[in-house]
């Protein structure tokens, strides 16, 4: 394998130690639970607690988005594995300021089960916890509620966190998250698998020179496996799925995220973004803001995803709201 780790069974703990060391101005591990990363700067005014999480291997998702006016805590599972209920519960105890908490995470069965148990444990303590599942991956199911969450996570987290930072109550914060999710669609393409440190092998086999549009970030099946095509053709096909699923009228605005899955060069992401911008322009869709980079990865997987958010005045205000985390900064 081509990974640089020590004991593969300790890789998540060692990553968390390194992350909290490097970003010690922002975060720390919860003293009694080393799978919960919390902000060092809780809001001086009590606000709704923003808790995100899921399996490891998607860095900088989830822990990279803890900071001012963004997430208050991230609950960290093993690689591609949900965190267990206990840290989900502990995160609530750590960040609740008396106004309740919102759990947000990609829609995967293990996460749903364990976060729900965490919420029940918190309810026994009298703390209200609501949940919004992110379901942005258009190809993962015809039924929106059954879809998986991918890079759209960041959009939904950002919108809800801004609403919470503005002082809104839990119902309003949850409504902002649901609205952001409803307006967000993503589609991915993979050119390789990612490598599991424990086995030292790819999760699945993929021939060099092949690609699969629609593949999920854990290798869930996509549209079909084909020979690698030029970037523009790949982008066009991905955008067609996205824009069919949530059509835009000319004059409407999109917030764009071209997300690298880990191993694809930034050069290629910008080549792809160039085509995204061309297509949107042709269709009369204005780009409100564009993010290009590795925001939600699958370790060393070579591939990328396109996320479009149909933004109105409210979503623009939430997504542009100042924030400061190690991997997401918007200046005041």
Please choose, out of 102-110, 115-123, 169-177, 225-233, the segment that lies near its own copies by the rule CB under 8 A. Answer: 225-233
Please choose, out of 1-9, 95-103, 132-140, 143-151, the segment that lies near its own copies by the rule CB under 8 A. Answer: 1-9
Give the nearest distance from C-beta 184 to its own copies in angstroms: 18
Q: For residues 98 and 46, what is the distance between their CA atoms, to the nearest angstrom?
A: 7
Out of 87, 219, 263, 305, which residue is the one contacting its own copies (CB under 8 A)?
263
- Residue 274 engages its own copies in binding (rule: CB under 8 A): yes
Q: For residues 29 and 148, what is the distance between their CA atoms, to the nearest angstrom?
A: 28
Task: Note whether 60 and 113 are within 8 A (CB).
Answer: no
Q: For residues 21 and 28, what is the distance between their CA atoms, to the nearest angstrom?
A: 8
Mark 228-247 with x for binding to its own copies (rule: CB under 8 A) and - for no binding: x-xxx-x-------------
Number of residues this chain uses to bind its own copies (CB under 8 A)? 62
Give the nearest distance from C-beta 325 to its own copies in angstroms: 11
Out of 27, 51, 138, 292, which residue is the one contacting its own copies (CB under 8 A)?
292
State phi, psi for 3 to the nearest 5 degrees.
Answer: -130, 155
- Residue 262 engages its own copies in binding (rule: CB under 8 A): yes
Out of 31, 124, 145, 208, which residue is the one contacting its own copies (CB under 8 A)?
208
Per the residue annotation, which of 32, 58, 273, 288 is the catalytic one? 58
Residues 26-55 that bind its own copies (CB under 8 A): none
Give the nearest distance from C-beta 273 to its own copies in angstroms: 4
Tell me the three state secondary structure of residue 27.
strand
Is 2 or 32 the residue whose CB approaches its own copies more closely?
A: 2
Give the nearest distance from C-beta 264 to its own copies in angstroms: 6
Q: Which of 232, 254, 234 is nearest to 243 (CA)?
A: 254
Give the nearest distance from C-beta 233 to its own copies in angstroms: 9
Give the nearest distance from C-beta 133 to its own copies in angstroms: 24
Is 119 or 323 the residue whose CB approaches its own copies more closely?
A: 323
* Residue 295, phi-psi category: left (phi > 0), alpha (psi -120 to 50), beta (remainder): alpha
Give the nearest distance from C-beta 170 to its own copies in angstroms: 29
Distances (CA, A) of 267 to 63, 238, 280, 292: 25, 19, 20, 10
- DSSP class per residue in 30-93: ETTEEEEEEESS--SS---EEEEEEEESSTTTTGGGBSBTSBSEEEEEEETSPPPHHHHHHHHH
The size of the chain, in residues, is 332
Q: Is position 273 annotated as part of the catalytic site?
A: no
Residues 168-207 that bind its own copies (CB under 8 A): 189, 191-192, 194
223 Cβ contact partners less than 8 Å away, ≥ 6 residues apart: 139, 212, 213, 214
**C-alpha 61: how far from chain center:** 6
Q: Which of 306, 329, 176 is nearest to 254 (CA)?
A: 306
- Residue 302 engages its own copies in binding (rule: CB under 8 A): yes
Task: Note whether 226 and 210 are within 8 A (CB).
Answer: yes
- Residue 282 engages its own copies in binding (rule: CB under 8 A): no
Which residues are tagged catalytic? 58, 218
Q: Which residues bind its own copies (CB under 8 A)?
A: 1-7, 11, 14-19, 21-23, 56-57, 59-60, 189, 191-192, 194, 208-209, 228, 230-232, 234, 256, 258, 262-275, 277, 287, 290-292, 294, 297, 299-300, 302, 304, 324, 329, 331
């Amino acid at each position: 394998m081509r990974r640089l780790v020590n004991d593969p069974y300790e890789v998540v703990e060692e990553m968390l130690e390194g992350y909290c060391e490097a970003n010690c101005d922002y975060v720390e591990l919860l003293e009694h639970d080393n799978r919960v990363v919390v902000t060092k700067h809780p809001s001086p005014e009590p606000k709704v607690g923003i808790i995100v999480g899921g399996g490891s291997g998607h860095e900088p998702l989830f822990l990279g988005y803890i900071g001012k006016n963004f997430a208050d805590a991230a609950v960290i599972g093993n690689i591609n594995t949900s965190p267990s209920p206990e840290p989900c519960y502990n995160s609530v105890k750590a960040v609740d300021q008396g106004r309740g908490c919102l759990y947000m995470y990609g829609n995967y069965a293990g996460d749903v089960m364990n976060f729900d148990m965490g919420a029940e444990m918190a309810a026994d303590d009298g703390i209200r916890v609501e949940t919004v599942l992110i379901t942005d991956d258009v190809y993962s199911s015809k039924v929106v509620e059954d879809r998986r969450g991918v890079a759209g996570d960041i959009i939904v987290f950002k919108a809800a966190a801004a609403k919470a930072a503005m002082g809104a109550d839990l119902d309003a914060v949850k409504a902002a998250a649901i609205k952001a999710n409803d307006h967000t669609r993503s589609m991915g393409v993979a050119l390789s698998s990612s490598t599991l440190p424990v086995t030292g092998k790819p999760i699945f086999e993929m021939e060099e020179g092949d690609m699969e549009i629609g593949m999920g970030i854990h290798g869930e099946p996509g549209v079909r496996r084909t020979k690698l095509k030029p970037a523009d053709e790949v982008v066009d096909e991905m955008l067609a799925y996205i824009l069919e699923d949530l059509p835009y009228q000319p004059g409407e605005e999109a917030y764009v995220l071209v997300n690298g899955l880990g191993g694809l060069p930034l050069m290629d992401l910008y080549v792809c973004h160039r085509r995204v911008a061309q297509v949107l322009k042709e269709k009369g869709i204005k780009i409100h803001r564009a993010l290009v980079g590795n925001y939600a990865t699958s370790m060393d997987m070579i591939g990328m995803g396109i996320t479009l958010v149909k933004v109105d005045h409210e979503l623009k205000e939430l997504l542009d709201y100042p924030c400061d985390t190690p991997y997401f900064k918007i200046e005041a």
